[in-house]
Amino acid sequence: MFETKIYDIPDADIAWCPGCGNFGIINELKTALAQLELEPTRVVIVSGIGQAAKMPQYVRTHMFNGLHGRSLPAAVAVKMVNPELVVIAESGDGCSYGEGGNHFIHTIRKNPDITNIVHDNQIYGLTKGQASPTTARGQVTTLQFDGVYVDPFNPIAVAVALDASFVARSFSGNFDLTVELIKQGIQHKGYALIDILQPCVTFNKVNTYQWYKENTYILPDSYDPFDREAAFRVATDNSKFALGIIYRNPDKPILEEQLAPYKKDKTPVAYRGLIQ
C-alpha cells in the first residue's frame, strides 16, 4: 500500500465547513487510491461545480474541474481518449442528479469504465441550503419555506432500472465500507455508481450523522447483488437506505472497447502522433 500523503496538496486552503462529511470522503478516497497503489499520474479526477466538486482541488492527481453538471461527459471523453487512465467523476447530488441528470442516464447506457462518486447530502451547500433533487418531501429549506413539495430523485432505483453495471451506496461516516466500495468501484470494469450519503452540518438539519446512523443498514452477506429484482426492491424501499453493493451486471460491453480506433490497436488515441 502507498502512503496516503502522496495524494496531499500541501498548502490547500480547504473551503469545507468544519465537520463536513466531505472530510470523511476525502480520506476514504485517498485511502482507496493508496490501497490500490495508483500513482497520482495514472488518475484523473473530473468534477463539476459545488462543494463536493472541489474534491480534486485537494487531491494530488490529474484534475479536470469543469462545469456544473458536466462531470460525466468530460470523464467519459477522457476515458475514450486514454483508456489507460483511472477516471473518477466526482460531484454532489445537485450537480450529478439535477443539472447533470441527462448525462447520468446516458452515461449508464454507455457504460464507460469510470467510477462515479456522488456526495449525496440531500441539500445544496454552495448555494446555501436550497433543496437538492434528493431532499425529502416536506423538508423546510432556505428556499422552500413551506417544505419541498416534490418527490425526491432515487438515483439507485434509476441506476438499477437502467441496468447500470455497478451500483453501490455508502455513508461517509462508515470509513471501512466507503474505502472498500470505492476500491471495488475502481476495480470494476464498467460504469460504477457510488452514492455516498453525507451530512451537511451547516444547511441540512434533518439528515445529520445521527439520522444517517439510524436510517441506514448494511446489506447482509446473504444479499445477492446480481439479482436485479432484489436490487430493485432494496432500491425502492423507502423505510431505510441500504448500504453496500446493491447491483452488479458484469456482462455489459465497455464503451471505449467498442470505439473505431481500438479495434486493431490498443494504443490510447491520446498518445498517437506523440514521441514516446
Partner 1 sequence: MNDLFFEKPAGEISIVLSGAAGQGIQTVEYIFTKVAKDSGFYVFATKEYMSRVRGGNNTTELRISEKPVYAYVDRIDIVVPLNNNALERIRKRISEKTIILGSPKYVEGEKNSIPVKFEEIAESFGNKIYANSVAIGVLSGIIGADEDKLIQNISEHFQKKGEKIVKDNINAALKGFEIGKTLGLNYEIKPDEKVRSQILLNGSVAVARGAIAGGCNFISSYPMSPSTAVFTELSRLSNEYGIIIEQAEDEIAAANMAIAAWYAGARAMATTSGGGFALMTEAMSLAGMIETPVVVHIGQRPGPATGLPTRTEQADLNLVLYAGHGEFPRIIYAPGNLEEAYLLSAKAFNMADKYQIPVFLLTDQYLLDSFYNIDEFPEIEIERYVVKTSENYRRYEVTDDGISPRGIPGYGDGLVRVDSDEHDEFGHITESSEVRIKMVDKRLKKTQKILEDFEPPKLFGGDEFDYLVVCWGSTQQIVKEAVEKLGNEKIAVLHFSQVYPLHSSVKKYFEKAKKTIFVEQNATGQFANLLKLEFGVDTSTRILKYSGYVFSVEEVAQRILGEVEKDV
Instruction: Pick one of 33, 52, 78, 123: the residue that binds partner 1 (CB under 8 A).
Output: 78
CB 21 within 8 A of CB 202: no
With CB under 8 A as the rule, give the number of residues binding partner 1.
Answer: 50
Rg (CA), the chain: 18
Single-letter amino acid code for the residue at 178:
T
Considering only the stretches 58-66, 145-153, 192-200, 218-226, report the one whose residues sit in contact with partner 1 under the rule CB under 8 A: 58-66
66 binds partner 1 (CB under 8 A): yes
Instruction: Pick one of 25, 29, 49, 167: the residue that binds partner 1 (CB under 8 A).
Output: 49
User: CB 253 → partner 1: shortest distance, Å?
Assistant: 15
User: CB 276 → partner 1: shortest distance, Å?
Assistant: 8
Instruction: Pick one of 5, 19, 84, 210: the residue that binds partner 1 (CB under 8 A).
Output: 84
For partner 1, which is the closer residue by CB, 20 or 80?
Answer: 80
Number of Cβ within 10 Å of residue 98's Cβ equals 18
Considering only the stretches 16-24, 74-82, 225-233, 246-254, report the one whose residues sit in contact with partner 1 under the rule CB under 8 A: 74-82
Considering only the stretches 73-81, 113-121, 188-196, 206-214, report the one whose residues sit in contact with partner 1 under the rule CB under 8 A: 73-81
d(CA 254, CA 258) in angstroms, rounded, equals 7
Single-letter amino acid code for the residue at 177:
L
82 binds partner 1 (CB under 8 A): yes
Write out the three cell numbers for 40: 497520482
30 binds partner 1 (CB under 8 A): no
Single-letter amino acid code for the residue at 21:
G
Q: Residues 99 to 118: which contact partner 1 by CB under 8 A?
A: 102-103, 105-106
For partner 1, which is the closer residue by CB, 221 or 265?
Answer: 265
Question: Which distant-in-sequence residues (6+ apart) come within 8 Å of 65 by Cβ?
Answer: 46, 47, 49, 53, 54, 56, 57
d(CA 158, CA 160) in angstroms, rounded, equals 5
Q: Residues 237 to 276: which contact partner 1 by CB under 8 A?
A: 259-261, 263, 265, 268-275
d(CA 134, CA 95) in angstroms, rounded, equals 11
Q: Which residues sit opposite 118 in a β-bridge?
A: 91, 195
Distance of alpha carbon 186 from the chain centroid: 11
User: CB 193 → partner 1: shortest distance, Å?
Assistant: 17
For the stretch 158-169, what's the b/e string if a residue is b when 16 or more beta carbons lie within 10 angstroms of its beta carbon?
bbbbbebbbbbb
User: CB 39 → partner 1: shortest distance, Å?
Assistant: 10
d(CA 255, CA 114) in angstroms, rounded, equals 10
* Local structure of 40: helix, strand or coil: helix
List residues binding partner 1 (CB under 8 A).
9, 12, 40-42, 44, 46, 49, 54, 56-57, 60-67, 69-70, 72-78, 80-82, 84-85, 102-103, 105-106, 259-261, 263, 265, 268-275
